[in-house]
Amino acid sequence: MGLTQTQEYYLQTMGIDVYWSRDRVIDDPVSNSDEVKIASVPTPEVAVQENEIWNALRERVAKCQQCELHRGRTQTVFGVGDHQADWLIIGEAPGAEEDRQGEPFVGRAGKLLNSMLFALGLQREQVFIANILKCRPPNNRDPKPEEVVACSSYLKEQIDLLQPKIILAVGRIAAQNLMKTETPIGKMRGQRYQYADTGIPVVVTYHPAYLLRSPREKRKAWQDLQLAMRIYKETA
């Protein structure tokens, strides 16, 4: 996939050096309608009905007390983005700042995720971002199995409503829980998976927080994003 000057800039913000030949031809795949397809807009009646369903689900999540995590939360973190999105980004669980703001992937990790998406020609507003858990675990510890089970129906409903063309599982916890495996994330990378029996393709990559701690792995993350885009273009 060719890179635009804008994409090159965002790759550099990810910490990935970009080199090109002097005689390169500047191409702009982001402005090409074949690169990232915009989801069709539903009729007003359908849009109202879908919005009501989303709001009802959001309210159920906000009132959820199915596990002990509700006792320490500031608020639930339902998810954010386009309800017609082709891309679903799934992370682990809210951190302290997400718990305060009620939105997934904020702060430094969120900025890096935005850059990763932009490098693909995607705006944050064009995708939907959610987590395995809707409440923050104390001290950002790993989710307990019973907590994942308690939240699993909410994520499934979100996926059923979205019907995304592709899912990007971000980080070990998201990847392992989504795929029901204990395989290390390093061995899960570079492959195409499928969510349950839906046929929705899943690609695994490193969590932005991990990439901030291990910047040498950013190039691998870029390879994962390129794989996800190739699979998306095949299915879209």
Q: Three-class SS string for 44-99? A: HHHHHHHHHHHHHHHHHHHCCCCCHHHHCCCCCCCCEECCCCCEEEEECCCCHHHH
Q: What percent of the chain has pLDDT over 70?
A: 82
The encoded tokens of residue 167 equal: 């899912």
- What's the pLDDT score for residue 25? 39
- What's the pLDDT score for residue 235? 85
Q: How far apart are the first and last CA of the chain?
A: 16
- Asked if pLDDT for residue 41 goes beyond 80, the answer is no
Burial of 53 (0-12, 13-18, 19+ CB in 10 A): middle
- What's the pLDDT score for residue 20? 44
Q: Are the C-beta atoms of residues 190 and 223 closer than 8 Å to each other? A: yes
- Asked if pLDDT for residue 38 goes beyond 70, the answer is no
Q: Which tens digit of pLDDT belongs to each residue from 78-126?
A: 999 999 999 999 999 999 999 999 999 999 999 999 999 999 999 999 9
Q: Which tens digit of pLDDT belongs to each residue from 138-185?
A: 998 999 999 999 999 999 999 999 999 999 999 999 999 999 999 999
* More confident position, 82 or 11: 82
Q: Are the C-beta atoms of residues 48 and 54 closer than 8 Å to each other? A: no
- What's the pLDDT score for residue 48? 80
Class (C level, CATH) for 46-235: alpha beta
